[in-house]
Structure 1
Amino acid sequence: MNCYLYSLVLQWKLDIRSKSLLVTFYIVPLIFFLIMGGIFTSVMPEMGSTLIQSMIVMSVSMGAFLGLPPSLVEIYGSNIKKIYNANGVPIYLGLVSILLSAFVHLMMTCIVILLLAPILFEASLPTQLPLFFLALSIYMIVSLCIGSLLGLTLKNQAKLTMIAQLVFLPSIMLSGIMFPISLLPDFLQILGRVFPAYWGYRLMLGNDFSLENLWYLILVSCIAVMTCILLLNKQKSE
């Protein structure tokens, strides 16, 4: 148990010192929130009721798809995994440590947005905070699972950046957080439902944990987790 705690603390310290993670987990999401929050509420005052959820979806998507995968490539795309094997360290320890650390970082960013939005932009707080945080945690876990899949599958940083952008950009453009999804053509509305951001956004807005709203998130997370396990087992045998 001490080994796992030490690994988590070490990963946390490495993340704090990482400039790329500082940018993708904190600086860019919070700057986007400060700039776009003012623009959205000025142009569309009614967006104050959904501003917190919109900014959180953007922040989580950026951290999970652009910030997390490169950290995994640094471990599983290099000789560090051989050090794990040589010292009898479980191959999954690096992934678990990075995931837990990323979850904490993203949650801190989301809490900052939650606290500042009502003060700066008169945004409406979620009516039921416990259910809101439960919905946020579910969406965050699903997003981090997809980010883990990207990081374990793609070993080339340039290719990883390109694919991650192809997941990140539609997640925020087609999910309804920037503008009502009803304004999009039918084809793009259907395409938007492929990305977990669409479902996570609505889950945080409505706090409706019915199977109708959860089934896709459960399906995607299960597929991502099983694929990550297979990829880790492959890494271990190499």
Structure 2
Amino acid sequence: MSNKHEQPFKISIKPTLVNKERVYPNKGTLILKADDQFYVYDRSTILSVTSFFGFLAIGYCLFYFFGTNEPFVFRRDWFEILLIIIGLFLIIYSFTADKKKKRLILDRLNGVVTYPDFFYLPPLKGNFKDLKAVISVSGEIDGAVGREYLKFVNTFKPRKFDFLQTITYGNPNEEWSLYVWYMDKNRPLPPGTAFDPYRQKDFERRKKLGFPKPLYPSNIPTPEATKEQQKERLIIGGW
């Protein structure tokens, strides 16, 4: 059983820190890029999980067929045949899928988000402000709260039924606050040492525009990197 809670475009809590150690080519392998223009998160690691389940399915079927002395009867063993077909598909898919299509891409300056669709389908792309994101709570049994996941709905390719794409397995509220903050190009870059080399450039860009008001509300302060910059923003932009 699962419940879905649609997320508002708001910085609700302190976001996940994006430190340089988490960004490739440092120790990080999931965050491929984090600067003043793009934030790129690699979702292709899910392919290894896909192949695991494929091999697991085939392994079970091989044990079922060769580990017993029962003769093969299609009317009885159709489920195992179907499982082999599914397992083969998952294995082939995991090795042939285009990993570049399995990325979450946040385009800060243009306000565009790109995220993976299912299997070989091309990525979904559209305006971030139109994105439908939910926090899905799974495993609620007898009032016990299950685990929460941040998921994106197939917003830019409507279907008869909504398909949810899991984006992150970290704290969903922190991750969503990070995305909203990052995609608010009128605010300074989010916390984290990965963004430090780009803060001055981003500050000058916003200063040139007169420090326009934020695009999305926030429950927490989003200050500039220095007190001097904060003072400039207050004088020029009024906030």
TM-score by length of structure 2 reads 0.25
Query: Hey, which of these two has a bigger chunk of strand by percent?
Result: 2
Query: Hey, which of these two has a bigger chunk of helix by percent?
Result: 1
TM-score by length of structure 1 reads 0.25
